[in-house]
C-alpha cells in the first residue's frame, strides 16, 4: 500500500509539476528559480484579450505608433502594431545596459592605467572612463621616472571606430555625438580635447618635468596587446562604480557612457560590432530574428527593434538577480533623470521607472508602471515627422487610470 501511495504521488508530481513551476515563476517565489529562468532560452509569456486596453490603444493612436503592454503575470494584455520594426532611439539603452550589468558587478570600475617596461617605455591605456580629466592624466604622469630617454605611448583605437554606424555628421558635431574613445577627456565633449591634444599635453608636461631628457610621445592604434605584453602597471585611476555609470547612461541618457560600457563588456573596442546584443537576447528566448542593432546608445538611425521585444525583455528582466539594481538606474516619472519634469503633479509621480528616447522623427517611452504595487510593463514608440509626446504621456496616464485586466 505504501508503494502504491508513493507511485501515485510520483504520478501527481509529473502531471502537476509544469503548473507548479509556472506558478512559482509567475509569482516570483524562488530566487534561484527566477534567475535560472532569466538565463534560460524560453518564455512563459502568454496573451490575454483585454477589450479595455485594446480599445484605448485603437482609439488613441495612428499607425506611426507601436505599443505593447504586459501585466505582472507576464501576459500581453494590450498591443498596437507590436511587431512593427521601429527606430527606438535611447530605449535601446534599456537592453545594452542590462547586457553590461550581466558582465560586471555593480561595484566594479573602469580603469585608466600607466604601464612600464624595463627600457623606460611607458604606455597609457584606458577603458573609456566618461569622467577622465587632465587632473587624472597628471596623476598618472607623476609616476614617470627621470631617464635619458622617455618614451610614452598612447594606446588608442583607430579613428574609423570613433563612431558607430548610423551616426550622422550632424550628430558628430554635437556633444551627444562625441567620438567614443578609450582615453576620453570628459567624454570628448570638448572637441579641442582629442588624441592630438592629449599627445601635446603629455609631451609638454614631461618636457617641463624632465628638461634634460629626450621625450617621445607616440600614438599606437594597432596590436596594442603586443606592445604591453611585458609591461607592468605602475599606477592607475578608476572610474565611478559601474552602478553610477549605468545610472548616468539610463537616467540621464548619456550616449558616450552607454557606448563605452558596452565596448568594455563585449570587448569590441577595435570594431563596431553590436551583434552580441542580439545573441544575448536570443539566448534568453526572446524574438530577435528580424531585429538590427547598430549601436548601444540608440543614436543610430539604422537600429530596428519593436515594442514587443522591449516589453518581453523588460518582463524577463524582472527575473534577473540584478533586477533591483537595474531598475534603480532608470529615470523616475516626475522625480529623476529625463523624466524629472514630466507629470510632476500627476498621480503617476514616482510610479513609472523607465527610459525616454528622442531623435528627430522619433519618440519612445518604455518601462515599469506601478499600480497597486504591481508593475505594468509598457513600451511605446512613435516614428513620424509629426511627433506627439503629449499623446504618449497622456496614454500612460490613461493606462494607469483604466481598470486593470487580470
Domain assignments of the chain as residue spans, ordered by start: 37-105+268-401, 111-239
Count other C-beta atoms under 10 Å from residue 15's C-beta: 10
> pLDDT tens digit string along 361-398?
999 999 999 999 999 999 999 999 999 999 999 999 99
Compute the chain's Rg from CA coordinates: 25
Instruction: Please tell me the pTM assigned to this model.
Output: 0.92
- Per-residue b/e over 185-201, b at no fewer than 16 CB within 10 Å? bbbbeeeebbbeebbeb
* pLDDT per residue as tens digits for the range 177-226: 999 999 999 999 876 556 778 999 999 999 999 999 999 999 998 777 78
Q: How far apart are CA 294 and CA 301, in angstroms?
A: 8
Kindly tell me if the per-residue pLDDT of 330 is higher than 70: yes
Sign of the CA dihedral running 17, 18, 23, 25: positive
Task: pLDDT band for 33, please (50, 70, 90 cuts).
Answer: confident
Mind listing the pLDDT tens digit for each residue in 217-252? 999 987 777 888 889 999 999 999 999 999 999 999
Q: Which CATH class is domain 37-105+268-401?
A: alpha beta
Amino acid at each position: 500500500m505504501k508503494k502504491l501511495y508513493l507511485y501515485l504521488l510520483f504520478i501527481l508530481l509529473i502531471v502537476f509539476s509544469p503548473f507548479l513551476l509556472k506558478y512559482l515563476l509567475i509569482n516570483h517565489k524562488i530566487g534561484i528559480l527566477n534567475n535560472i529562468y532569466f538565463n534560460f532560452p524560453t518564455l512563459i509569456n502568454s496573451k490575454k484579450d483585454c477589450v479595455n486596453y485594446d480599445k484605448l490603444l485603437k482609439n488613441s493612436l495612428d499607425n506611426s505608433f507601436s505599443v505593447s503592454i504586459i501585466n505582472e503575470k507576464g501576459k500581453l494584455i494590450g498591443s498596437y502594431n507590436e511587431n512593427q520594426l521601429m527606430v527606438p532611439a535611447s530605449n535601446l539603452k534599456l537592453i545594452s545596459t542590462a547586457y553590461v550589468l550581466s558582465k560586471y558587478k555593480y561595484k566594479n570600475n573602469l580603469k585608466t592605467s600607466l604601464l612600464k617596461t624595463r627600457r623606460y617605455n611607458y604606455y597609457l591605456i584606458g577603458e573609456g572612463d566618461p569622467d577622465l580629466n587632465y587632473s587624472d592624466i597628471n596623476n598618472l604622469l607623476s609616476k614617470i621616472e627621470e631617464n635619458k630617454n622617455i618614451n610614452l605611448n598612447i594606446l588608442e583605437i583607430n579613428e574609423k571606430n570613433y563612431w558607430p554606424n548610423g551616426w550622422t555628421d550632424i550628430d558628430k558635431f554635437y556633444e551627444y555625438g562625441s567620438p567614443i574613445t578609450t582615453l576620453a577627456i570628459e567624454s570628448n565633449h570638448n572637441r579641442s580635447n582629442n588624441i592630438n591634444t592629449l599627445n601635446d599635453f603629455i609631451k609638454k608636461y614631461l618636457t617641463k618635468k624632465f628638461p634634460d631628457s629626450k621625450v617621445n610621445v607616440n600614438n599606437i592604434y594597432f596590436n596594442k596587446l603586443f606592445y604591453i605584453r611585458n609591461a607592468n602597471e605602475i599606477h592607475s585611476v578608476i572610474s565611478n562604480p559601474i552602478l553610477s555609470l549605468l545610472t548616468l547612461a539610463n537616467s540621464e541618457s548619456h550616449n558616450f557612457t552607454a557606448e563605452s560600457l558596452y565596448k568594455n563588456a563585449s570587448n569590441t573596442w577595435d570594431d563596431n560590432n553590436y551583434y552580441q546584443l542580439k545573441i544575448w537576447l536570443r539566448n534568453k528566448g526572446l524574438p530577435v530574428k528580424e531585429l538590427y542593432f547598430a549601436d548601444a546608445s540608440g543614436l543610430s538611425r539604422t537600429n530596428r527593434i519593436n515594442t514587443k521585444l522591449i516589453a518581453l525583455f523588460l518582463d524577463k528582466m524582472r527575473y534577473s538577480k540584478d533586477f533591483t539594481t537595474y531598475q534603480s538606474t532608470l529615470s523616475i516619472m516626475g522625480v529623476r533623470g529625463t523624466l524629472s519634469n514630466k507629470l510632476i503633479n500627476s498621480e503617476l509621480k514616482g510610479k513609472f521607472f523607465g527610459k525616454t528616447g528622442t531623435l528627430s522623427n522619433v519618440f519612445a517611452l518604455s518601462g515599469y508602471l506601478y499600480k497597486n504595487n504591481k508593475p505594468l510593463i509598457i513600451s511605446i514608440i512613435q516614428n513620424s515627422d509629426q511627433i506627439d509626446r503629449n499623446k504618449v504621456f497622456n496614454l500612460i496616464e490613461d493606462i494607469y487610470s483604466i481598470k486593470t485586466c487580470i
